[in-house]
Chain A
Amino acid sequence: MEPLSQAEKQAERKASTPGVGQFIRAVSAIIWKDLAAELRSRELLSAMLVFALLVILVFNFALELDAQARASVTAGVLWVTFAFAGTLGLNRSMAMEKDRGCLDGLLLAPVDRSAIYFGKAIGNLIFMLIVEAIVLPVYSVLYSVNLFNPGLLLIILLGSIGYVAVGTLLASMAVQTRTRDVLLPVLLFPLVIPILIAAVKGSTGFLQGLDLSDIRPWINLLLVYDVVFIAVAFMVFDYIVEE
């Protein structure tokens, strides 16, 4: 292998001076890597999916409710399912980075470290949305509830973004400890309570056909929460992952 000349090295370093372009390329590289690895192993998606389906099945048998009562608990059951399955995915996703020291490999790259956060978070969001896309029709059939409501889908998207934004940040903190499997839910659930409340209220509002003005505060809360936690993660991720 021929080493690069000094001129070639300087040209390459100049071309790859940290900027928006390099940031986006690093984020997309991490997303591609996570999807490619998952396509091979199917560890993360299968675990999340089986767990989510089991949760809605358990609820289906545990809550012997009439049609009206079922409609009223739908949002709660769905968000409990998404939250639990999401935790499983977040843990697994960061454990994959830690097991072979891959997190260090990522941290050694000459990019702004928040690119690593965004890459991992978008990857986690994709996995969570895939699981949700499978769970929703199954739930519809089991509970005889029509869930194909654009407003509900918007709430699910906003809630998932907030959940993953906080979850990825905390998972990267928890993964450095020996008790990561236990620590993540202990740290995560208290912090995502505002998201879960807003998501459940908003989802229930759309399912019960409430006026948009009644639901808008919950949508606003989700939006604010998403923006605040993405901004916080952008600022603190570097300190969290560095010793």
Chain B
Amino acid sequence: MIIAVRKLVKRFGLKTVLRGMDFSVEPGEFVALLGPNGAGKTTFLRILASLSRPTMGQVNIAGYFLPHQAAAVRRSLGVVSHQPLLYGDLTAEENLRFFARMYDITNAEKRIVDVLGMVGLASRRRDLVRTFSRGMQQRLAIGRAVLHDPDVMLFDEPHTGLDQDACLMLDTVLQEVAARGRTVVMTSHDLARVADLASRFDILSRGVITASVERSQMDPNNLLAYYRQAIAEG
């Protein structure tokens, strides 16, 4: 397993967000983590990304344990959230160059050219990121996340705030990211969208996984009914 989470608990003061959650992912899987607002999806992804410390429980990613081997875990991860995590006053190329230095990437210039080509922004590489549309920023954010060629990609509602065309373009990039054998965990509210992308659907409700189903074991058109039933039973 490339991600193994056991009895994960996260509390913020008196509020318990994750209640002994178990979760595991095999290498190369594309898991969609679905759930209503407040279910704990973002909190869970932030713990996997080592941005938040678990209160209790065990988290292992790519053979490394959190929080003690956080730096090694971070090297294995690429993270895309609904915020671009990019500097508006730097160009696309400068942003990637900065992150290449932070990740200590060898042969960075070639990787930057490759990544900009992959996300379709090669012609805008010298433009300031603040002049980019939301969709372009999100594509560049994916470029930033794959720059160090991570084994695991975490997407936290990457379609938020994008128009239909931008969503379609983002889906193409997401499919390309997944097609390269990377493991992907993505949270989303958009069931129709993830139905076409993910290979497995996990439903998170009130801090625990209440249901999990492989795409091959169900009709993706029934995902909404399955989701509603899992939430009701959870």
Contacts and interface: CB of A to CB of B under 8 A. Distances in A.
Interface of A: 1-4, 9, 12-13, 15-16, 18, 22, 25-26, 28-30, 32-33, 36-38, 40-41, 96, 100-102, 104-112, 242-243
B209 to A, nearest CB: 21
Contacts of A30: 102
B157 interface: no
Interface residues of B, number: 43
- For the complex of A and B, the 8 pairs showing the least CB-CB separation, nearest first, are A101-B83, A105-B85, A16-B104, A29-B101, A243-B52, A109-B102, A110-B75, A1-B114
B23 interface: no
Contacts of B77: 108
Nearest to B82: A101
Contacts, number: 109
B90 A36 contact: yes
B79 to A, nearest CB: 5
Contacts of A243: 12, 46, 51-53
Nearest to A112: B71
B52 A25 contact: no
B117 A1 contact: yes
Given A16-B104, A108-B77, 5 more contacts: A1-B111, A15-B106, A29-B101, A100-B84, A107-B50
Nearest to B128: A40
Given A12-B105, A33-B98, A242-B51, A102 B85 contact: yes
Contact of A1 (B50, B85, B102, B115): B115
A100 B89 contact: no
26 contacts: A1-B114, A1-B115, A2-B114, A15-B104, A26-B102, A29-B102, A36-B90, A37-B87, A37-B89, A38-B89, A40-B89, A41-B89, A96-B87, A100-B83, A100-B87, A102-B86, A102-B87, A104-B51, A106-B102, A107-B51, A108-B79, A110-B104, A112-B71, A242-B51, A243-B51, A243-B52
Contacts of A15: 104, 106
A40 B83 CA distance: 22
Interface string B191-202: 000000000000
B85 A242 contact: no
Interface centre among B81, B103, B111 (most CB of A within 10 A): B103
Nearest to A107: B51
Nearest to A12: B106
Given A36-B90, A41-B89, A105-B86, A3 B81 contact: no
A127 B114 CA distance: 35
B74 A4 contact: no
B104 A25 contact: yes
Contacts of A110: 71-72, 74-75, 103-104
A243 B54 CA distance: 9
A26 B12 CA distance: 31
B74 A3 contact: no
B98 A32 contact: yes
Given A3-B180, A110-B71, A25 B87 contact: no
